[in-house]
Amino acid sequence: MAPRIVVAGSANMDLVGLADRLPRPGETVLGEDFVMMPGGKGANQAIAAARAGGDCVMLGAIGSDSFGVTISARLAASGVDTGHLRTSYGTSGVAVIMVDRTGENSILVSPGANRTFVALTDAEEAVIGGGDVLLCQQEIPSETVTAAAIAAKRGGARVVLNAAPAREMPSDLLDHVDLLVVNQSEAEAIAGTDADMARLLALVPRVVLTLSGEGSWYADRDGRDERVPAYRVEVADTTAAGDAFTGALAVAWGEGRDLVEAVRWANAAGAACVRKVGASSALPTRAEIDAVHHGG
């Protein structure tokens, strides 16, 4: 059976513009292509998990605007269970994303309805506790992430926290995290120094540090410490690579795979994602991940 992945996180509408280069402060650059699509780290990781083969349910909040309707429809069309997604009166979250021809990007997020995702209901806590893996990020209120992690541990689910974007985290949240997924800047924000794996492992039992084009670094308190190399592909857009990685990682761990092998497969998901422009539209299917993983 497919693992039950519960994502408690953000949902946005992404407004993506493509140009030869990113503008400097105060500068206007003439763009070329423009795409509008659902995104947000929570929604992206939910779609990534569903496409990677997980039985995924999304918990979060969308606005009462047309963006909210589109976000919900895209999630459902991607195989994500939206039956517990809240609708909050007002605007949905919005992300303005600029992408250059090398695939680098710059992102501004306005949280909108995501700010209202607080005070988990009994039904939401039951969904979380009934899952195999809870997957969270930091684009929703930290008290909600903490409450979700506590509910997961109470129900016996594993907790994966992608600590993005980087911000201070309460200790009672970290006390309930089974696997922390961070990039270098996020690791530095948590550890209070360079991306020090020992400091991170003093806070959580398992860590995956993503190293962009250099792959990933996995370590745990049992003494495993392994670098997992990246797959080499032609890069079109790096926007959702981290979300593809994290969603696939949650599925692979939920399936019972060894965590180093799970990280390797998640690297393939990130590589498959960056070959396309966009966020949710670029997230790979299980077949696409396997093709990269097996050298296709």
| 153 has binding-site annotation | no
| 40 has binding-site annotation | yes
| 276 has binding-site annotation | yes
| 254 has binding-site annotation | no
| 156 has binding-site annotation | no
| 105 has binding-site annotation | no
| 239 has binding-site annotation | yes
| 44 has binding-site annotation | yes
Of the residues 20, 220, 243, 290, only one is catalytic, namely 243
| 222 has binding-site annotation | no
Annotate the chain with three-state secondary structure.
Answer: CCCEEEEECCCEEEEEEECCCCCCCCCCCCCCCEEEEEECHHHHHHHHHHHCCCEEEEECEEECCHHHHHHHHHHHHCCCECCCCEEECCCCEEEEEEECCCCCEEEEEECHHHHHCCCCCHHHHHHHHCCCEEEECCCCCHHHHHHHHHHHHHHCCEEEEECCCCCCCCHHHHCCCCEEEEEHHHHHHHHCCCCCHHHHHCCCCEEEEECHHHCEEEEECCCCEEEECCCCCCCCCCCCHHHHHHHHHHHHHHCCCCHHHHHHHHHHHHHHHHCCCCCHHHCCCHHHHHHHHCCC
243 belongs to the catalytic site: yes
| Annotated binding-site members for K(+) | 237, 239, 273, 276, 278
| Annotated binding-site members for ATP | 183, 242-243, 267
Active site residues: 243
| Annotated binding-site members for substrate | 12-14, 40-44, 139, 243
| Annotated binding-site members | 12-14, 40-44, 139, 183, 237, 239, 242-243, 267, 273, 276, 278
